C-alpha cells in the first residue's frame, strides 16, 4: 500500500524542537544548513533542483521558533508550500553578493553578538557553498563564530519516524518487485548498458519517483567492484550479474542489491553466495536494540572474512533514509547503540578464490524485539536466469 506523500507539519516541528534542545546543550545559538538532506529534514523542501550546482540554499535554525529560509528567488514558490513563514530571497546568481549579505543579516538578527553558530563539519558532511563566500560570511559575522554542529542533524536523522519508515518501506517494495522481474530484461547476449536502462524502467513502472543510484556488473564467476557504471559488453553464460539500486519514493531511499547467475553457478559462486546469506542472517540476528554496530560487524565478518584484515569496501553496511547511505557505518570502530527506528543495510562481501568478489545487501529496521527485513531476504541459493 502506498503511504501518503509528505509529512504532517507536526513532524517538522518535532524535528526542529529536538534539534533546538540539542543546540541548547551544545551551546549553539543557531544551526546553518546548506545541503539538500539537512534543508529537507527540517523544512520538507523536496526538489531535484539540487542537481544544479549554481545556487546556494541556506536555512537557519534559530534557538527557538521555526526555521528561516534564505534562498534564491527561484525557490520561493516551492518553499512557500512548506511550513516555513519566514522566507528571504535574492535573485541568484548574483556575481556581487550571492546571498551572503542576506544570510549574514539573518544570522545577526536571530543570534546574540557572541553566538556560536553550528555547521555540519564531521564525516559524511560537507559545506555546500563556495569556500570564498564562507570566508566572507565568517568575516561579516564579527564576534559571532561558526563552529561544528555537534552532529545534531546526523544524530536526529539516524532514528526514523513511522512516516519516514513507511516511505523507505515503499521504496524497498518497489525495488523488490523490480528485482523479481530481472529475468524479463537480462539474458545472455544483451548488453549490460541495456540491462541497466531496462532495470531503471522496471523501477519506474513499479512506482519509483526516480532512480538516483544504480551500479552493478556482469562478469564470469563474480565481479571486480560494486560501483561501476554499465558497459556495452553483452551478458555471457557463467556471468554473475549484480544490480545494486538506490531508488527513491517521496524523497526516501532503499538501497540493496541482488545477484543472478546466468546459467548454472560455479561451485565457488554457490558457496560464496551461501556465505553472504549466512553473514546477512548473522548480522540480522545481532541487530537488536541495545546492541552496538560493531557487534553486527563482527557477526558478519567472522563469516565472510574470518581472521581477515578488512575488505576494499571498508564496511559491511550503513544507515539509509533520505540519502543512499547515512550514518552509521558497520565497521569495527563504530560503537553506536542500536535503537528502535534505525534503518540499516547489511552488506557483506566475499572474495572468491580467483580474486573476484560478490556482495549481498538487505535493508532492515530495528524494532523492540529485534530486526525486521524491509527487503525480501534472499535464499542461500543464488537466483539463476
CB-nearer residue toward a second copy: 177 or 285: 177
Write out the three cell numbers for 50. Answer: 539540487
CB-nearer residue toward a second copy: 51 or 379: 51
For residue 233, state whether it binds a second copy (rule: CB under 8 A).
no
Q: Which of the residues 15 through 44 are near a second copy (CB under 8 A)?
A: none
C-alpha dist (Å) from residue 47 to 36, 51, 208, 300, 365 = 9, 9, 15, 37, 26
Stretch that binds a second copy, among 104-112, 160-168, 210-218, 276-284 (CB under 8 A): 210-218
For residue 176, state whether it binds a second copy (rule: CB under 8 A).
no
For residue 13, state whether it binds a second copy (rule: CB under 8 A).
no
CB of 147 to a second copy, least distance (A): 10
CB of 264 to a second copy, least distance (A): 26
For residue 8, state whether it binds a second copy (rule: CB under 8 A).
no
100 preceded by cis ω (within 30°)? no
Stretch that binds a second copy, among 9-17, 59-67, 305-313, 362-370 (CB under 8 A): 305-313
**DSSP-derived secondary structure letter, 382:** P
Rounded to an integer, what distance in angstroms lies between the CA atom of residue 173 and that of residue 51?
26
Task: Give the number of residues in contact with a second copy, rule: CB under 8 A.
Answer: 82
DSSP H or E run through 32:
strand 30-33
Rounded to an integer, what distance in angstroms lies between the CA atom of residue 255 and that of residue 345?
7
Torsion angle in degrees (nearest 10) through CA of 237, 240, 244, 245: 20
CB-nearer residue toward a second copy: 64 or 231: 231
In the three-class reduction of DSSP (H, G, I as helix; E, B as strand; rest coil), residue 46 is classed as coil
Stretch that binds a second copy, among 23-31, 190-198, 298-306, 361-369 (CB under 8 A): 190-198
**Which of 14, 334, 373, 383 touches a second copy (CB under 8 A)?**
334
Write out the three cell numbers for 192. Answer: 549490460
Q: Phi/psi of residue 354, each to 5°?
A: -90, 10
In the three-class reduction of DSSP (H, G, I as helix; E, B as strand; rest coil), residue 72 is classed as strand
Q: Are strands 343-346 and 362-367 parallel, antiparallel or unpaired?
A: antiparallel
Rounded to an integer, what distance in angstroms lies between the CA atom of residue 366 and that of residue 343?
6
Q: Phi/psi of residue 362, each to 5°?
A: -130, 165
**Which of 14, 49, 102, 236 touches a second copy (CB under 8 A)?**
49
Q: Which of the residues 239 through 278 are near a second copy (CB under 8 A)?
A: 246
Q: Do 343 and 375 contact (CB within 8 A), yes or no?
A: no
Rounded to an integer, what distance in angstroms lies between the CA atom of residue 311 and that of residue 329?
14
CB of 296 to a second copy, least distance (A): 15
CB-nearer residue toward a second copy: 52 or 369: 52
CB of 128 to a second copy, least distance (A): 5
For residue 228, state whether it binds a second copy (rule: CB under 8 A).
yes
CB of 205 to a second copy, least distance (A): 7
Q: Which of the residues 75 through 134 are near a second copy (CB under 8 A)?
A: 75-78, 89, 91-96, 98, 119-133
Amino acid at each position: 500500500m502506498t503511504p501518503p506523500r509528505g509529512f504532517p507539519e507536526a513532524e517538522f516541528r518535532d524535528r526542529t524542537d529536538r534539534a533546538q534542545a540539542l543546540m541548547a546543550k551544545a551551546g549553539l545559538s543557531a544551526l546553518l544548513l546548506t545541503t539538500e538532506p539537512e534543508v529537507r529534514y527540517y523544512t520538507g523542501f523536496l526538489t531535484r533542483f539540487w542537481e544544479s550546482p549554481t545556487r546556494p540554499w541556506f536555512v537557519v535554525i534559530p534557538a527557538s521558533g521555526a526555521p528561516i529560509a534564505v534562498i534564491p528567488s527561484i525557490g520561493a514558490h516551492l518553499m512557500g508550500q512548506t511550513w516555513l513563514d519566514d522566507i528571504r530571497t535574492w535573485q541568484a546568481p548574483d556575481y556581487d553578493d550571492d546571498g551572503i549579505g542576506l544570510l549574514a543579516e539573518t544570522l545577526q538578527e536571530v543570534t546574540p553578538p557572541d553566538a556560536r553558530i553550528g555547521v555540519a563539519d564531521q564525516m559524511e558532511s560537507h559545506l555546500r557553498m563556495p569556500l570564498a563566500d564562507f570566508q566572507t560570511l565568517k568575516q561579516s559575522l564579527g564576534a559571532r563564530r561558526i563552529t561544528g554542529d555537534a552532529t545534531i542533524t546526523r544524530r536526529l536523522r539516524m532514528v526514523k519516524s513511522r512516516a519516514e519508515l513507511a516511505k523507505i518501506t515503499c521504496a524497498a517494495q518497489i525495488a523488490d518487485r523490480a528485482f523479481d522481474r530481472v529475468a524479463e530484461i537480462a539474458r545472455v547476449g544483451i548488453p549490460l548498458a541495456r540491462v541497466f536502462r531496462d532495470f531503471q524502467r522496471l523501477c519506474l513502472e513499479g512506482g519509483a519517483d526516480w532512480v538516483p543510484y544504480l551500479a552493478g556488473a556482469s562478469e564470469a564467476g563474480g565481479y571486480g567492484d560494486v560501483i561501476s557504471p554499465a558497459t556495452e559488453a553483452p551478458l555471457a553464460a557463467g556471468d554473475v550479474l549484480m544490480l545494486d539500486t538506490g531508488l527513491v519514493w517521496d524523497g526516501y531511499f532503499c538501497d540493496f542489491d541482488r545477484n543472478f547467475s546466468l546459467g548454472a553457478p560455479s561451485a565457488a559462486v554457490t558457496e560464496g553466495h551461501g556465505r553472504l546469506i549466512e553473514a546477512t542472517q548473522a548480522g540480522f540476528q545481532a541487530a537488536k536494540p541495545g546492541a552496538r554496530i560493531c557487534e553486527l560487524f563482527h557477526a558478519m565478518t567472522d563469516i565472510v572474512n574470518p581472521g581477515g584484515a578488512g575488505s576494499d569496501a571498508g564496511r559491511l553496511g550503513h544507515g539509509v533514509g533520505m540519502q543512499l547511505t547515512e550514518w552509521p557505518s558497520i565497521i569495527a570502530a563504530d560503537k553506536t547503540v542500536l535503537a528502535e527506528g534505525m534503518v540499516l543495510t547489511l552488506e557483506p562481501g566475499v572474495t572468491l578464490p580467483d580474486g573476484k568478489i560478490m556482495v549481498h545487501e538487505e535493508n532492515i529496521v530495528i524494532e523492540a524485539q529485534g530486526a525486521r527485513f524491509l527487503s525480501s531476504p534472499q535464499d542461500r541459493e543464488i537466483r539463476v536466469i
